Amino acid sequence: MRAGPISGIKERSTRDAVAIWIALALAYLVFAGSLSVNEGLATVVCATLGTAWWWVAGRRGGVRFRFDRAALRPVGPALVGMPRQTARVGLHLIKALLGRAEGGATRDRSAAEIAWATPHGDTAPAARAVGLFAASLAPDSYVLTLDREHGTVATHALGDSAS
């Protein structure tokens, strides 16, 4: 199964813009956590600016993402691991408040060890983007650099192990 962009770069439609605007507005309201006149105005402004950015940048950007199921695979384990990593970070922060925890650690890994860092084919850009997102989604670690030229991925983690 392949799903391309919402529409082709030159085929932006009003329907797509409305769908993007609604998604951005709902996302803003979820993260705002309250309903008020100020939040409503901020929702309209932010969703409109985000939709305008999508409309303009999408026409000028040259990268087109093509997704398949394999490209989305890293998101599942990242979501499943979030509660455990959130608890680990909470414990680490409590230890830091008590003066018993050190800072995080940076870890370099070979890109050959990480499936999302070295994909091939038409879906490679999407697989790298989704993999990078999933690796940085968990609160315990995030990707600092993906150096494809040298074949390394540098991650930072608060806990004992980097994902």
Structure tokens at 54: 């999508």
CB 71, CB 123: distance < 8 Å: yes
User: At residue 77, does pLDDT exceed 70?
Assistant: yes
Structure tokens at 78: 């990242």
User: How confident is the model at residue 110, as a pLDDT?
Assistant: 87
User: At residue 15, does pLDDT exceed 50?
Assistant: yes
State whether 75 and 148 are in the same domain: yes
State whether 79 and 29 are in the same domain: no
Please indicate, yes or no, if residue 110 is contained in any of the structural domains. yes
User: At residue 3, does pLDDT exceed 60?
Assistant: no
State whether 75 and 46 are in the same domain: no
Residue 82 corresponds to which amino acid?
M
State whether 118 and 80 are in the same domain: yes
Distance CA 83, CA 85 (A): 5
Q: What is the pTM of this model?
A: 0.57
Distance CA 124, CA 54 (A): 22
User: Once rounded to an integer, what is the mean pLDDT over residues 15-43?
Assistant: 91
User: How confident is the model at residue 118, as a pLDDT?
Assistant: 78
State whether 73 and 150 are in the same domain: yes
Q: What is the pLDDT of residues 38-67, one digit of tens each?
A: 999 999 999 999 999 888 876 666 666 777
The range of the structural domain enclosing residue 144 comes to 69-157
Distance CA 131, CA 39 (A): 33
User: How confident is the model at residue 163, as a pLDDT?
Assistant: 44
State whether 79 and 143 are in the same domain: yes
Domain limit, last residue, from 60, 81, 98: 60
Q: What is the pLDDT of residues 83-92, one digit of tens each?
A: 988 888 888 8
Confidence of residue 160 (pLDDT cuts 50, 70, 90): low
Q: What is the pLDDT of residues 110-154, one digit of tens each?
A: 888 887 877 888 788 888 888 888 888 877 788 888 887 888 888
State whether 147 and 102 are in the same domain: yes
Average pLDDT over the chain, rounded to an integer: 81
State whether 18 and 49 are in the same domain: yes
User: How confident is the model at residue 45, as a pLDDT?
Assistant: 96
